[in-house]
Structure 1
Amino acid sequence: MTWQNDGEACRIQFATHEEIDDAVLRYWPEDDDKDLTTTIVKRGWAFIDGGEGHHTVYLHNLESRSLEKETIYMYQVGSVKGEETFWSDIYTFHTPSEDDSFEFVATGDMGTSNAVSMPNLLRVANQHRYDFIAFAGDQAYDMADFNGTKGDEYMNFVQDIYATIPVMAAPGNHEYTYNFSHYKNRFSINPYLESGFEDPTMYSFDYKSLHLVSFSSEVFFDQGSPEQIQTALHWLNEDLTKANANRHQRPWIMVFAHRPLYCSPSESEDCTWKANTMRYGRNDTDLGGLEALFLKHRVDAYICGHRHNYERTYPVAHDQRVATSYYQPPSYFQLVVGNAGNFQGTDSFVNDTVPIADWSALRYEGYGFSTIKVSPTKLYISHYQSLPKDGTLGQMVDRVVVRKSRYPPIAGSRRVFCNNMEESGQMKTSATASCILHP
């Protein structure tokens, strides 16, 4: 399940092992089973895994009509075969409240083995408190394994979560097989067409006071060509330009993707040349990376995984801490949330020879998940332990509040520091500009 903008409608995908005649969605408010709405879609498509077994599943995408606010809906999907309709179990989901604030879950890097946070994610889904999960890549480890049957296993494994709370996913390096075919097909309900991108690997959506962008970090590595990098950066620049012009309605801009721009310890290749590639771009192109765009468009936060731990940075730019306060921060900060649980275990921060950089505000090596409450003027960020013995909820290991004024000033009215030189007027427009905005 995924949202459309502001939770006005949802999309639901289900799979069958046989071709069917029609796919059906029926849903109704929990307290009014007479208000039944039915959506019918003709048969979906055959997704054939790229392995030797040519494992095939049939995927079906359904979309609700406009949904009422502050409502718990019950729903079923059905497979029509001849004169019979075979119905799924009944699931529930909730729609956005009338309040101007909301909460969502941020996590990443979870497989079917050692999925320590699975019980907690199921619990938060059933609470109807959190409005969606932002999943920062690497699911299943890997969906294409065992001729693609691992993808079926994983989707069945997470079904009770993914059918109850919308999951807004980003692709990771463990989704790359067969040109990301499993991700592109199994997450084709991502709102990419509305976002003006060509496939489900990148999209954005609006939700109350937040503009959230899902970006594919993998375009910078072996799976991406210079042409694809150029397309991705052009799309991101255009998307963030529109979002920045709409700050009066959506004051917060967050981007999430799989790989970090900053991480510890600094001798890890993920935290050295790979992080530099994410920040500044690939050496074989002059197209730039993500950091210049984040600074140019005043992105507030970047959420990622890949490193199997939790780390929060201070506001950061150009590999330097630019503030220790989260009140009107002059730059974006980053959250690594790749500790949901997978067969590889967690990543250590221990290093006796390389000091931790001063931009690293807090580090946690265990398993867990993050929650973010968004209001027009504040972000409340929390990180909770998932206890490795049985996946139960542990203590809160991090809590920080980010504050800003309700209506941020226009970029042209702020002082701009580019490459350590102060300039007046408008921000540089080059994708490779290196600027920090100061109130």
Structure 2
Amino acid sequence: MARALVCVCALICAAAAASVPPIGTQPEQVHISYPGVKNSMVVTWSTSNRTESVVEYSLWGDALFRKKAKGNYTVFTDGGTEKRTSYIHRVTLTDLRHGSAYVYHCGSDDGWSDVFYLTSLNESLSFGPRFALYGDMGNENPQSLSRLQKETQIGMYDAVLHIGDFAYDMHEDNGRIGDEFMKQIESIAAYVPYMTCPGNHESAYNFSQYRYRFSMPGHTENLWYSWNIGPAHIISFSTEVYFYLEYGLDLLFRQYEWLKKDLEEANRPEQRAERPWIITMAHRPMYCSDDDRDDCTRFQSYVRRGRNDTTPIAPGLEDLFYKYGVDLELWAHEHTYERLWPVYDYKVYNGSFEEPYVNPKAPVHIITGSAGCREKHDAFIPKPRSWSAFRSTDYGYTRMHLINSTHLYLEQVSDDQYGKVIDDIMLVKETHGPDAWL
């Protein structure tokens, strides 16, 4: 009897093992992004072995997985000593019903992901999207992660903007830290578009981990791009082109020319009337009052003023953004939160003493780099600069609500204080564009 039971157990175990798909073809690190094309969404994931790239999906409430879309994969070889290879799969879902919820999973008959849901972007110009904003979130000590996971899954956000520095660092342990981080954020990024820009912690092997893992709009390997949502035109770019010249000075000039053309197009009267808000996001800020000798602590920062030690001289970005009436500039890098008064060339241009953010005469800057990482907090200089309005070293992140064409709301959440809102502003712009500064 005992021997028979052992045989039966062995057969059951063998059958169970046979039914488990090979681990190398099992999808992981699922995340979605908006490709900049109406009624579309890109689903990206990774496998260890080569397999098909398929997404099965359906409208919420319909029979599951009535639709199928196929894509392709890119072979990515990490630059570390083991030269680990993975397969990055991308499938674009098209003809989605705008503002509608869908259920999906991804993979192939060799292995399927968990079931997720997404909401296609509302393409209306009157749509008032809500965002979570942060940078500098690591695999170790990602203190804000659990709160962001819950808030995303209960539908608080239409998109997430991760403003550089992922995992700390994605290339470490031959890319395994990157894998673990992408698994961690799956519980956010599989549900809402996870829009990114590169930071200094992505620099290894010419930013290859960043360039391969994400799927942003355009054809610049995720380094710079723009997209539209509701009443806003959002521009993502790389500040790192000013610091890693070994990867090519031409990147700096190519990005600058692209930025100039993109801003010119966004400022055509018919375009600015439709998308009056122009918002930029990039990693290293032009201004900060931190005490760490970063670029933003210098009056002549590379990002703000450019570099005069290159041939030709590399132009900075403050004058360009001012010329084209950029409303809001989002930054990270400093492991703090700092809100600035409207500022240009180190001078404050408040709308008025009583209402500084009502019709301000210069762009508004927000630094939100305190989501949590192994490098912990940064410190501030004891006395804030005249353009610094509010500072906090709490771990946390920022929420943004684009209410309409004239009102934009921002608030800072402290994870140290259990989700308390510790700062908020309403930015009001009755006039957008360069004329707003007059």
| Class of the TM-score when normalised by the shorter of the 2 chains | 0.7 to 0.9
Q: Deviations over 1:365-414 (max 9, x none)?
A: 110111111121110001111128xxxx4210111001112x64x74xx4
Q: Distance in 1 between matches of 2:281 and 2:86?
A: 29
1:267 Cα deviation after fit: 6.5
Q: Distance in 2 between matches of 1:267 and 1:156?
A: 32
Corresponding residue for residue 438 of structure 1: 437
Match of 1:107 among 134, 140, 157: 134
Q: Distance in 1 between matches of 2:45 and 2:299?
A: 36
Matching of residues 26-425 of structure 1 within 5 Å: 26-33=56-63, 36-42=66-72, 44-79=73-108, 84-97=109-122, 100-187=127-214, 189-193=215-219, 198-223=220-245, 225-245=248-268, 246-265=271-290, 268-273=293-298, 276-285=301-310, 286-323=313-350, 325-351=356-382, 355-374=383-402, 375-387=404-416, 393-405=418-430, 408=432, 411=434, 414=435
The structure where helix makes up a greater share of residues is 2
Q: Distance in 2 between matches of 1:344 and 1:247?
A: 40
Moved more, 225-234 or 137-146: 225-234
1:283 Cα deviation after fit: 2.4
1:211 Cα deviation after fit: 0.4
Tell me, yes or no, if the aligned pair for 1:49 and 1:144 is still in contact at 8 Å: yes
1:361–1:27 Cα change, 3 Å: same
Moved more, 175-184 or 216-225: 216-225
1:86–1:262 Cα change, 3 Å: same
1:28 Cα deviation after fit: 1.0
Specify the code of the residue in structure 2 equivalent to 1:276.
S
Moved more, 63-72 or 5-14: 5-14
Q: CA RMSD in A?
A: 1.9
Q: Distance in 2 between matches of 1:127 and 1:257?
A: 28
Tell me, yes or no, if the aligned pair for 1:46 and 1:59 is still in contact at 8 Å: yes
1:39 Cα deviation after fit: 0.3
Q: Distance in 2 between matches of 1:222 and 1:273?
A: 18
Q: Distance in 2 between matches of 1:361 and 1:372?
A: 18
1:56 Cα deviation after fit: 0.9
Tell me, yes or no, if the aligned pair for 1:94 and 1:128 is still in contact at 8 Å: no
SS at match of 1:101: coil
Q: Distance in 2 between matches of 1:171 and 1:91?
A: 26
1:289–1:125 Cα change, 3 Å: same
Tell me, yes or no, if the aligned pair for 1:100 and 1:376 is still in contact at 8 Å: no
The unaligned stretches of length 5 or more in structure 1 are 415-436
Corresponding residue for residue 3 of structure 2: none
1:373–1:275 Cα change, 3 Å: farther
Tell me, yes or no, if the aligned pair for 2:325 and 2:363 is still in contact at 8 Å: yes
> 1:4 and 2:35 equivalent?
yes
| Higher-Rg member (1/2) | 2
Q: Deviations over 1:12-41 (max 9, x none)?
A: 111101111x21101111111267221012
SS at match of 1:247: helix
SS at match of 2:267: helix
1:274–1:106 Cα change, 3 Å: farther
1:95 Cα deviation after fit: 2.6
Tell me, yes or no, if the aligned pair for 1:76 and 1:90 is still in contact at 8 Å: yes
* Normalised TM-score (structure 1): 0.86
* Normalised TM-score (structure 2): 0.86
Q: Which runs of 4+ in 1 moved over 6 A?
A: none
1:35–1:173 Cα change, 3 Å: closer
Q: Deviations over 1:136-173 (max 9, x none)?
A: 10001111111111111111121111111111000000
SS at match of 2:211: helix
Specify the code of the residue in structure 2 equivalent to 1:25.
V
The unaligned stretches of length 5 or more in structure 2 are 1-31
Tell me, yes or no, if the aligned pair for 2:289 and 2:297 is still in contact at 8 Å: no
Specify the code of the residue in structure 2 equivalent to 1:5.
G
Specify the code of the residue in structure 2 equivalent to 1:127.
I
Tell me, yes or no, if the aligned pair for 1:4 and 1:11 is still in contact at 8 Å: yes
Corresponding residue for residue 433 of structure 1: none
Q: Distance in 2 between matches of 1:211 and 1:127?
A: 26
Q: Distance in 2 between matches of 1:267 and 1:151?
A: 27
